[in-house]
Amino acid sequence: MIITKSISRFARNTVTLLETVRELKLLGIDVFFEEQNIHTISADGELMMTILASYAQAESLSASENQKWRIRKAFENGEIVNLRFLFGYRINGTKIEIDLAQADIVREVFERAINGESFTSIAKDLNNTCCKTPHITEDEIKERFLKVYNGLISDKEPFIKACKLTRDVLTDTKVIDKEMTLLLRELEVVTELTKKCIAENSSSAQDQEKYTERYNRYVDRYEKAKSRYDELEQQKDNKLSKRKAIDRFISDLSKRDKLLAEFDNCLWLTVVDAVTVRNDGTLVFKFNDGTEIDG
């Protein structure tokens, strides 16, 4: 017998799962899924495999469909999607505005392209003449990081208090947990209804048109609930990951009483999320709690 934590851990998709399970069954090998409490070699296990098979196509598309759903919802809510670094424009709240300082460069690119110049030639020329971001050495970045982080150590108590408040607000999952619980109940109910539907069709004569209609309703109902559950699960994982990152940041800052005398690479990897270089040479240090500080 093969013991597996859950169906999702056994194979990448339902099609592969069913093919593998049935091949093992022919060899007389049972697979037990602890989370679902299913023995594949049993009659009930085969019935559950039949139900899972009906969701095979939906599952294979779930990742891309979930992503498309998020993008559609973002559009519906008026959010900016994948346009954070669109050259020639700037984002002002939920609006995209022309950046007048960069507009001339955009016009020049189009004019030169229309006149037949290659994109490679245009990019090379613009990089040599229009790039305004100054060159910052690694030593300069380290020096400025020390200055910024030592500033946090010098006045850390109010900063840590603000970080904890931000953490509790941004990473709260109570609403998500409540909805996930309701969706799990819905999935259990629909699964039982589907099993009953299949069993009735197997044991007695049914109007196949009505059976198919009822069966498809259950499948649609299950897929909608599962899609929403997966989305919430991803949201919760993101929030929990964010909480861990903020907790690590707070913990490290809390333990440090002395100012840093030299750059600490381990500290850098622990607390810094990203660094942005502005046109005026200013560095913006984004820490793992979401705080951004100029340096």
Delineate the domains of the chain, giving CATH numbers in brackets: 1-78 (3.40.50.1390), 80-131 (no CATH)
Per-residue pLDDT of the chain in tens (295 residues, 90 and over written 9)? 888 877 666 766 666 777 788 788 888 888 887 776 777 777 656 555 555 544 444 444 555 566 666 667 766 766 666 555 577 777 666 677 888 877 888 888 899 889 888 888 888 887 777 666 677 788 888 888 888 888 888 877 877 887 787 778 778 889 899 999 999 999 999 999 988 888 888 888 878 888 888 888 888 889 899 988 988 988 888 888 878 878 887 888 888 778 888 887 777 777 787 888 877 778 888 887 677 888 7
Q: Could you tell me the pTM of the whole model?
A: 0.48
**Is residue 10 a contact partner of residue 31, using CB atoms and an 8 Å limit?**
yes
- Check residue 274 and give its pLDDT: 81
* DSSP-derived secondary structure for 85-116: T-TTEEEETTEEEE-HHHHHHHHHHHHHHHTT
Query: Cα–Cα distance between 228 and 224 in angstroms, integer?
Result: 6
β-pair partners for 274: 286
* DSSP-derived secondary structure for 112-127: HHHTT--HHHHHHHHH
Distances (CA, A) of 215 to 15, 180, 228: 20, 24, 20
Q: Which strands make up the sheet holding 292-294, listed edge to edge?
A: 272-277, 283-287, 292-294
**Is residue 7 a contact partner of residue 45, using CB atoms and an 8 Å limit?**
no
Residues near 75 by beta carbon (within 8 Å), at least 6 away in sequence: 81
